[in-house]
């Protein structure tokens, strides 16, 4: 279950940097560079032995402070193989909680999501209040989050951290810039906190939607663990009727030896997605002529605008076969009982092949890929690139260093530096769908990355129950730098060929420096006032575009803004908290929004170097009440955003221009309610339920006046989740859950009147289930299903059909 708490997270910041290009060709198969789990496990064992030898065997464990104590688990205490219960943390001890986060927080722990169908880290968020994850298939690298008035296309409005290291990819602000979830193993997660809104000065304006803080585990004794998952779905739509399968294998090893703790892991995922995109053309009204080749095999349906449309096959982003390998090393060393240094190394390598398929056949049964064809007596013209396949490879490193003090009271400080390095990013695309290794293009994106530095100091009063006039103080500095560098070349052989003629390039940098201060002041026994301010200076520079021998350079841009925050809370009773919060936040443009785009001849589209930052004023009223074994929450919220950055068509100029533009004003407001309880009605039944209503509307849009008064892009009116886990015995548990998303629009003008179809964005209700059984203390078996009733629903692309899971785990 989810649990609501109000607690402090460690400060996090943005990261940025760049790396030189690695231009190795992409192979059609997985290739020898992939890390296989057996070899990875051997490497991990050797590293673990080296770590044990390096540590001082006779050194006594350092005395840990209360803030660093590790909670006991079933594996740590006794021989019981029983499953852990869900723990709901109430608000009765709020006085002892760090007040740096004057906003509501929804938390899920490992003891809770172990009963869910979880393969990758984003699955942990699937039942969070007023949130949705756009995960089209297992292994989807474009899994974005949507929360409140932020759509799943606005990726720069969501912060995702793992142990203080930024996983959010702020090189751009659309589907292809999803958080880098693969830098975390789902099995290593201790808990995930979702912090709603930009009400804390500790976070940048990217927190307009929410901040997701992932905390991973560190071992207190020797542990080794291996897990294997298999999953399959049967998918039936248009001309595709088949099963798609995948596997995921994870192995970890860790220990605490004296002052040193380490955790090392390897993960290998393979999966084949359902068709994500189909080749379509509007139903033709042009009669066929003698030159048109008669074909059969097309399907017809009504698209999102209720227009009759022909489906010709599976195109571009089609059936994706993905191979992903991860390695992760996490070290912590206690320099003193209250000073700890940490190091994190993450490695993620991905290869993919996106296959296409034509449904069309001529009179002799031969596949047809392009040209003029006759379908049902009408003429259709298929471009050569309609069924063009693609393949790609990406290699990424995450480096993190930290130094923290851990005093229970008084002053504490921390420094966190990180570097996300994209050492390889290659995408190869054919020019046509004809089988073979014909001509195509190669795009290199490996000259990109981000780095950051965060410094923070805090003051905690001498006792957890400090009286009137107590202050909790926070001061900090933040720096980040982002680099984007993309180049595209033509190639005579799209699968394995080298660079031929230069096609185009774009690049640029952004840099942000910020300082902030925040104070939480208990000025009366039941009243606390939290106030703060963040100052940010943002710069964009070195922006450029090139096509052939022609290049364009953009001028530098700079913005500086103050972001004040304030929140007041009242302990109406020992179990009831009332809070009002307000905060201003500025979300600065990303490198991609400013400089990335497409070049058609000498015309440059899909970029805007003159964007203004998003200017948000957020407000919320919250009531949180603990009653019996459960916690209730009720919230009203409103976000007023000026200069929302979004890709739209400016209809006020001729010819129309489509690129990232500022929408003058968007208002989102709504209501959220939730309940979480343990042993509800009967012992062993844990329940969480949440319902949210959000109305997000465009109030002013000078670039597209027809959108004024319309609902904003992909913000559903209703979201609801319910998840119930029944621990029937000490060894067995059953989970039943449901997810609902209401009416939303795929266009800013709300012209999509038929959303529940391919190309639209569906209303949906899906049911998930899982049976978990632990035969012994160190073994576990799970059988589950997502989308139990095989509901066909869409986020333009089809979501996965009914998916079955089988998993096994063993530890030593």
pLDDT-based confidence at 465, cuts 50/70/90?
A: low
pLDDT digits (tens, 9 = 90+) for 9-45: 333 333 333 333 333 333 333 333 333 334 334 444 4
Parallel/antiparallel/unpaired status of strands 293-294 and 299-302 = unpaired
How far is Cα 791 from Cα 798, in angstroms, rounded to an integer?
Answer: 10
- The pLDDT of residue 779 is 96
How far is Cα 509 from Cα 498, in angstroms, rounded to an integer?
Answer: 28
How far is Cα 243 from Cα 7, in angstroms, rounded to an integer?
Answer: 44
- The pLDDT of residue 19 is 31
* CATH number for 376: 2.40.170.20
Q: Tell me: pLDDT of 198 over 90.
A: yes
- The pLDDT of residue 596 is 79
How far is Cα 118 from Cα 518, in angstroms, rounded to an integer?
Answer: 37
What tokens does 699 get?
Answer: 């109030």
Which residue, among 258, 230, 262, has the nearest Cα to 244 in the 3D structure? 230
The residue count of the chain comes to 812
How far is Cα 676 from Cα 630, in angstroms, rounded to an integer?
Answer: 5
Q: Tell me: pLDDT of 118 over 90.
A: yes
Q: How many domains does the chain have?
A: 1
Mean of pLDDT values over 605-633: 91
pLDDT digits (tens, 9 = 90+) for 488-520: 999 999 999 999 999 999 999 999 999 999 999
In this prediction the pTM is 0.87
pLDDT, the chain, mean:
87
Mean of pLDDT values over 464-482: 85
How far is Cα 343 from Cα 416, in angstroms, rounded to an integer?
Answer: 10
What tokens does 633 get?
Answer: 């929450």
- The pLDDT of residue 549 is 84
Parallel/antiparallel/unpaired status of strands 210-216 and 158-162 = parallel
The neighbouring-strand residues paired with 614 are 587
How far is Cα 716 from Cα 743, in angstroms, rounded to an integer?
Answer: 5
Per DSSP, the three-state class of 94 is helix
- The pLDDT of residue 30 is 37
Those residues whose C-beta lies under 8 Å from the C-beta of residue 347, and which sit 6 or more positions away, are: 325, 326, 327, 328, 395, 396, 397, 398
Residue 294 contacts residue 157 (beta carbons within 8 Å): no
- The pLDDT of residue 14 is 34
pLDDT-based confidence at 466, cuts 50/70/90?
A: low
| Neighbour-count burial for 574-608, b at 16+ CB within 10 Å, e otherwise | eebbbbebbbbbbbbbbbbbbbbbebeeeebebbb
Q: Tell me: pLDDT of 93 over 90.
A: no
How many angstroms separate the Cα of 289 from the Cα of each of 179, 297, 377?
Answer: 50, 19, 8
Those residues whose C-beta lies under 8 Å from the C-beta of residue 476, and which sit 6 or more positions away, are: 11, 202, 454, 455, 456, 457, 515, 516, 517
By the 10 Å C-beta count (0-12 exposed, 13-18 middle, 19+ buried), 775 is classed as exposed
Per DSSP, the three-state class of 205 is helix
Which residue, among 672, 691, 674, 681, has the nearest Cα to 626 in the 3D structure? 674
| Neighbour-count burial for 434-471, b at 16+ CB within 10 Å, e otherwise | eeeebebbbbbbbbbbbbbbbbbbbebbeeeebeeebe
Residue 779 contacts residue 323 (beta carbons within 8 Å): no
pLDDT digits (tens, 9 = 90+) for 706-747: 999 999 999 999 999 999 999 999 999 999 999 999 999 999
Percentage of the chain beyond pLDDT 90 is 79
Percentage of the chain beyond pLDDT 70 is 86
The end-to-end CA distance of the chain, in Å, is: 27
- The pLDDT of residue 658 is 86
What tokens does 223 get?
Answer: 């542990």
Q: Tell me: pLDDT of 71 over 80.
A: no
Q: Tell me: pLDDT of 94 over 90.
A: no
Least confident of 597-611, 634-648, 745-759, 761-775: 597-611
How many angstroms separate the Cα of 278 from the Cα of each of 40, 369, 387, 561, 797?
Answer: 38, 13, 9, 45, 9
- The pLDDT of residue 606 is 58
Residue bearing tokens 């190091």: 343
Distance of CA 49 to the CA centre of its chain: 35
- For the chain, the helix, strand and coil percentages under 3-state DSSP, each to the nearest 5: 5, 55, 40
What tokens does 394 get?
Answer: 């990406």
pLDDT-based confidence at 307, cuts 50/70/90?
A: very high
Neighbouring C-beta atoms of residue 383, cutoff 10 Å: 14
How far is Cα 46 from Cα 459, in angstroms, rounded to an integer?
Answer: 42
- The pLDDT of residue 462 is 86
Q: Where in the sequence is the domain holding 35, given as residue range(s)?
A: 2-811
Q: Tell me: pLDDT of 64 over 50.
A: no
pLDDT digits (tens, 9 = 90+) for 559-607: 999 999 999 999 999 999 999 999 999 999 999 999 876 544 333 445 7
Those residues whose C-beta lies under 8 Å from the C-beta of residue 713, and which sit 6 or more positions away, are: 151, 153, 646, 745, 746, 747, 748
Least confident of 94-98, 159-163, 175-179, 485-489: 94-98
Residue 391 contacts residue 425 (beta carbons within 8 Å): no
How far is Cα 690 from Cα 805, in angstroms, rounded to an integer?
Answer: 26
What tokens does 444 get?
Answer: 């290199």
pLDDT digits (tens, 9 = 90+) for 773-805: 999 999 999 999 999 999 999 999 999 999 999
Mean of pLDDT values over 744-771: 96
pLDDT-based confidence at 100, cuts 50/70/90?
A: low
pLDDT digits (tens, 9 = 90+) for 691-716: 999 999 999 999 999 999 999 999 99
């Amino acid at each position: 279950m989810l649990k609501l708490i109000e607690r402090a997270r460690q400060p996090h910041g943005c990261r940025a940097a760049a790396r030189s290009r690695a231009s190795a060709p992409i192979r059609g198969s997985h290739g020898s560079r992939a890390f296989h789990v057996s070899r990875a496990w051997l490497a991990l064992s050797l590293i673990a032995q080296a770590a044990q030898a390096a540590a001082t065997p006779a050194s006594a464990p350092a005395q840990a402070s209360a803030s660093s104590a590790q909670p006991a688990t079933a594996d740590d205490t006794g021989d019981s193989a029983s499953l852990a219960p869900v723990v709901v943390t109430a608000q009765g001890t709020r006085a002892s909680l760090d007040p740096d986060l004057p906003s509501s927080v929804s938390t899920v722990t490992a003891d809770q999501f172990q009963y869910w169908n979880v393969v990758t880290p984003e699955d942990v968020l699937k039942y969070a209040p007023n949130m949705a994850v756009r995960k089209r298939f297992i292994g989807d690298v474009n899994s974005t989050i949507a929360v409140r008035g932020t759509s799943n296309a606005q990726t720069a409005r969501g912060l995702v951290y793992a142990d203080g290291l930024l996983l959010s990819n702020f090189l751009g602000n659309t589907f292809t810039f999803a958080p880098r979830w693969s830098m975390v193993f789902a099995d290593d997660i201790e808990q995930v906190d979702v912090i709603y809104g930009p009400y804390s000065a500790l976070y940048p304006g990217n927190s307009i939607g929410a901040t997701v803080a992932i905390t991973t585990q560190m071992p207190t004794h020797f542990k080794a663990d291996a897990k294997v998952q298999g999953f399959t779905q049967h998918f039936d739509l248009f001309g595709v009727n088949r099963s798609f399968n995948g596997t995921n294998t994870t192995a970890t090893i860790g220990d605490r030896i004296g002052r040193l703790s380490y955790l090392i892991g390897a993960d290998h995922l393979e999966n084949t997605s359902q068709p994500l995109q189909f080749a379509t053309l509007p139903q033709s009204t042009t009669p066929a002529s003698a030159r048109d080749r008669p074909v059969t095999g097309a399907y017809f349906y009504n698209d999102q605008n209720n227009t009759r449309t022909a489906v010709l096959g599976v195109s571009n982003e089609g059936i994706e076969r993905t191979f992903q390998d991860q390695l992760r090393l996490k070290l912590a060393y206690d320099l003193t009982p209250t000073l700890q240094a940490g190091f994190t190394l993450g490695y993620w390598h991905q290869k993919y092949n996106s296959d296409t398929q034509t449904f069309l056949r001529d009179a002799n049964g031969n596949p047809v890929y392009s040209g003029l064809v006759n379908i049902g007596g009408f003429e259709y013209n298929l471009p050569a690139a309609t069924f063009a396949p693609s393949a790609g490879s990406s290699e990424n490193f995450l480096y993190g260093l930290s130094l923290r003090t851990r005093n229970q009271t008084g002053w504490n400080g921390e420094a966190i530096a990180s570097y996300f390095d994209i050492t390889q990013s290659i995408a190869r695309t054919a020019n046509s769908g004809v089988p073979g290794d014909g001509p195509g293009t190669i795009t290199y994106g490996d000259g990109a990355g981000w780095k950051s530095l965060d410094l923070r100091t805090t003051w905690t009063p001498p006792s957890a129950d400090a009286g009137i006039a107590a202050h909790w103080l926070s001061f900090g500095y933040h720096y980040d730098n982002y680099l984007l560098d993309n180049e595209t070349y033509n190639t005579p052989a799209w699968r394995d060929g080298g660079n031929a003629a230069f096609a185009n390039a774009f690049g640029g940098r952004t840099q942000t420096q910020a300082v902030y201060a925040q104070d939480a002041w208990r000025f009366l026994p039941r009243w606390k006032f939290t106030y703060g301010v963040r100052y940010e200076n943002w710069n964009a520079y070195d922006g450029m575009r090139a096509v052939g021998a022609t290049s364009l350079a953009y001028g530098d841009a700079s913005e500086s803004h103050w972001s004040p925050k304030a929140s007041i809370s009242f302990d109406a009773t020992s179990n009831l908290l009332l809070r009002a919060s307000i905060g201003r936040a500025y979300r600065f443009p990303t490198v991609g929004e400013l400089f990335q785009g497409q070049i058609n001849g000498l015309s440059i589209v899909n970029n805007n170097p003159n964007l203004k930052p998003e200017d948000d004023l957020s407000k919320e009223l919250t009531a949180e009440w603990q009653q019996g074994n459960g916690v209730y929450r009720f919230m009203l919220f409103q976000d007023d955003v000026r200069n929302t950055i979004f890709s739209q068509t400016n209809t006020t100029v001729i010819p129309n221009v489509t690129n990232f533009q500022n929408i003058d004003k968007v208002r989102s407001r709504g209501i959220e309610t939730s309940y979480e309880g343990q042993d509800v009605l009967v012992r062993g039944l844990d329940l969480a339920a949440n319902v949210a209503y959000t109305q997000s509307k465009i109030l002013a849009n000078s670039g597209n006046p027809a959108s004024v008064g319309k609902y904003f892009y992909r913000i559903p009116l209703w979201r609801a989740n319910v998840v119930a886990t029944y621990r029937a015995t000490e060894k067995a548990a059953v989970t039943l859950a449901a997810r609902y998303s209401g009416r939303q629009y795929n266009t800013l003008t709300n012209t999509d009147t038929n959303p529940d179809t391919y190309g639209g964005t569906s209303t949906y209700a899906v049911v998930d289930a899982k049976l978990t059984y632990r035969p012994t203390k160190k073994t576990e078996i799970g059988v589950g299903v997502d989308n139990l009733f095989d509901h066909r629903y869409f986020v333009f692309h089809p979501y996965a059909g009914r998916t079955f899971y089988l998993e096994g785990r063993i530890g030593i």
